[in-house]
C-alpha cells in the first residue's frame, strides 16, 4: 500500500498528492509517469511525476478530476493509502544543453512542465516559460515555474489574469523575434500540444510533446497506448511519452482518446447514482 503523506487542492478540481513511494522516488526523472490503482477493483490510470523527494521517499502527483477514478482519488485524505503505484515508467525527458528552450504548459500540464523546465535549467539552458489556463482561478504553480525560468508569460483564455491569449500567441511572437529559439517543449491537453507543434513547424524548431493516450498496463504489453509518429507505430508508455510534435498523427490520437467515451459516461452516471443513493 502507498500512503498519502499530504494532499492539497491547488485550484478547483485539481489536486496535489504527495505519496510515500521510496523505490519510485529513488529512480524518478523528469518526464516519467506512474500508473496507479486506488484499490483492487479499481482501473489503472497513468499520472505524470510532477516532483519527487529522494530523501523523504515521496512522489508528487497533480491531477484533474475528469471521471470516476480521478474523482474517487480526490476523495482520499492524508493518511489513506492506494493499492498500487507503479513507476517510474516511460523514458525520461531528453535533457541536454540546447541553448534557449521555450517550455509551454497548459492547464494541468503546468505540473509536468515544471520538473522538465527545472532539469533543462540545471543543464545550462535559458528557459522561457509560457503557462496558460482558461481563467485565473485555474492557475497554479506560477511561483514554482517562475523560479526555474529566465522569463515567464502567463496567459488566460478570458483575460482574468496575465495576458488574454492562448499560449500559442506568445509562442509565435518568440519564434518571430530576434532571439534564436533552439527547442520547444509543450505539455497540456492534446489539442494545445497539436497547435503548439503547428506553430513551431514553419520555423523548424524541434518541438517535444508528451502524449496522453489511454493506457492500461503502462509496460508495452497491451498496445492500448499506440500512437503514430512519423508513420511508425509507437507505444507511448515505453517509447514515450515524449515525441517529436511535428511527426505525431494528432487525429489518430484524438480518436483513440475518445474510444471508451460511452463507457466512461456510463461509469460516471452509475457512480453519481451510487453517491445519490447513499447520501
> Residue 277 CB: number of other CB atoms within 10 A?
7
- Identify the residue among 221, 255, 259, 270 touching ligand FES (CB under 6 A): 221
Position 216 contacts ligand FES (CB under 6 A): yes
- Identify the residue among 62, 68, 193, 237 touching ligand FES (CB under 6 A): 237
Stretch that binds Mg ion, among 64-72, 121-129, 156-164, 199-207 (CB under 5 A): 64-72
Task: Extract the C-alpha cell encoding 162.
Answer: 496575465
Distance of CA 75 to the CA centre of its chain: 21
Position 222 contacts ligand FES (CB under 6 A): yes
- Strand extents, DSSP E, the chain: 2-11, 14-20, 33-37, 44-48, 51-53, 58-64, 81-82, 84-89, 100-106, 126-133, 151-156, 163-164, 183-187, 207-210, 226-229, 232-235, 242-244
Position 45 contacts ligand FAD (CB under 6 A): yes
Q: From the CB of 35, what's the least distance to ligand FES, in Å? A: 8
Q: Which one of ligand FAD, Mg ion, ligand FES, none is in contact with 130 (Cβ closer than 5 to 8 A by kind)? A: none
Residue found by looking up cell 508528487 in the block: 60
- Identify the residue among 22, 99, 159, 220 touching ligand FES (CB under 6 A): 220
Half-sphere exposure of 205 (CA within 13 A, CB side): 26
Q: From the CB of 47, what's the least distance to ligand FES, in Å? A: 13
Q: Which of 26, 30, 24 is nearest to 3 (CA)?
A: 24
Q: Which of 147, 23, 151 is nearest to 86 (CA)?
A: 23
- Identify the residue among 217, 228, 249, 264 touching ligand FES (CB under 6 A): 217
Judged by beta carbon, residue 62 or residue 237, the one nearer ligand FES is 237
Q: Compute the distance between CA of residue 51 and CA of residue 120 in angstroms, rounded to an integer.
A: 14
Position 28 contacts ligand FAD (CB under 6 A): no
Q: From the CB of 189, what's the least distance to Mg ion, in Å? A: 17
- Tell me whether strands 81-82 and 2-11 are parallel, antiparallel or unpaired: antiparallel
Position 214 contacts ligand FAD (CB under 6 A): yes
Distance of CA 162 to the CA centre of its chain: 22
Position 153 contacts Mg ion (CB under 5 A): no
Residue found by looking up cell 506560477 in the block: 142
In contact, 230 and 247? CB cutoff 8 Å: yes
Position 235 contacts ligand FES (CB under 6 A): yes
Judged by beta carbon, residue 178 or residue 261, the one nearer ligand FAD is 261
Q: How many residues bind ligand FES (CB under 6 A)?
A: 12
- Identify the residue among 3, 11, 37, 67 touching Mg ion (CB under 5 A): 67
Task: Extract the C-alpha cell encoding 88.
Answer: 517510474
Position 257 contacts ligand FAD (CB under 6 A): yes
Q: Which one of ligand FES, ligand FAD, Mg ion, none is in contact with 261 (Cβ closer than 5 to 8 A by kind)? A: ligand FAD
- Identify the residue among 46, 88, 106, 115 touching ligand FAD (CB under 6 A): 46
Stretch that binds Mg ion, among 53-61, 67-75, 105-113, 192-200 (CB under 5 A): 67-75
Amino acid at each position: 500500500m502507498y500512503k498519502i503523506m499530504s494532499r492539497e487542492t491547488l485550484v478547483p478540481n485539481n489536486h496535489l498528492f504527495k505519496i510515500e513511494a521510496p523505490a519510485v522516488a529513488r529512480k524518478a526523472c523528469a518526464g516519467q509517469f506512474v500508473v496507479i490503482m486506488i484499490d483492487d477493483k479499481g482501473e489503472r490510470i497513468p499520472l505524470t511525476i510532477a516532483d519527487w523527494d529522494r530523501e523523504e521517499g515521496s512522489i508528487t502527483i497533480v491531477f484533474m478530476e475528469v471521471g470516476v477514478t480521478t474523482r474517487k482519488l480526490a476523495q482520499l485524505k492524508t493518511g489513506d493509502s492506494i493499492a498500487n503505484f507503479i513507476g517510474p515508467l516511460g523514458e525520461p525527458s531528453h535533457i541536454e544543453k540546447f541553448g534557449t528552450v521555450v517550455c509551454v504548459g497548459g492547464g494541468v500540464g503546468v505540473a509536468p512542465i515544471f520538473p522538465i523546465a527545472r532539469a533543462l535549467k540545471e543543464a545550462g539552458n535559458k528557459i522561457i516559460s509560457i503557462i496558460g489556463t482558461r481563467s485565473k482561478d485555474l492557475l497554479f504553480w506560477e511561483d514554482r515555474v517562475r523560479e526555474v525560468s529566465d522569463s515567464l508569460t502567463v496567459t488566460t483564455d478570458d483575460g482574468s489574469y496575465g495576458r488574454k491569449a492562448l499560449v500559442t500567441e506568445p509562442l509565435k511572437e518568440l519564434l518571430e523575434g530576434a532571439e534564436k529559439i533552439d527547442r520547444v517543449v509543450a505539455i497540456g491537453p492534446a489539442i494545445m500540444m497539436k497547435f503548439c507543434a503547428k506553430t513551431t513547424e514553419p520555423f523548424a524548431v524541434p518541438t517535444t510533446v508528451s502524449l496522453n493516450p489511454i493506457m492500461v498496463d503502462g509496460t508495452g504489453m497491451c498496445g492500448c497506448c499506440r500512437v503514430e509518429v512519423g508513420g511508425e507505430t509507437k507505444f507511448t508508455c515505453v517509447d514515450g511519452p515524449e515525441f517529436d510534435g511535428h511527426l505525431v498523427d494528432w487525429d489518430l490520437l484524438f480518436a483513440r482518446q475518445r474510444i471508451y467515451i460511452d463507457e466512461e459516461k456510463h461509469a460516471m452516471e452509475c457512480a453519481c447514482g451510487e453517491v445519490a443513493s447513499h447520501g
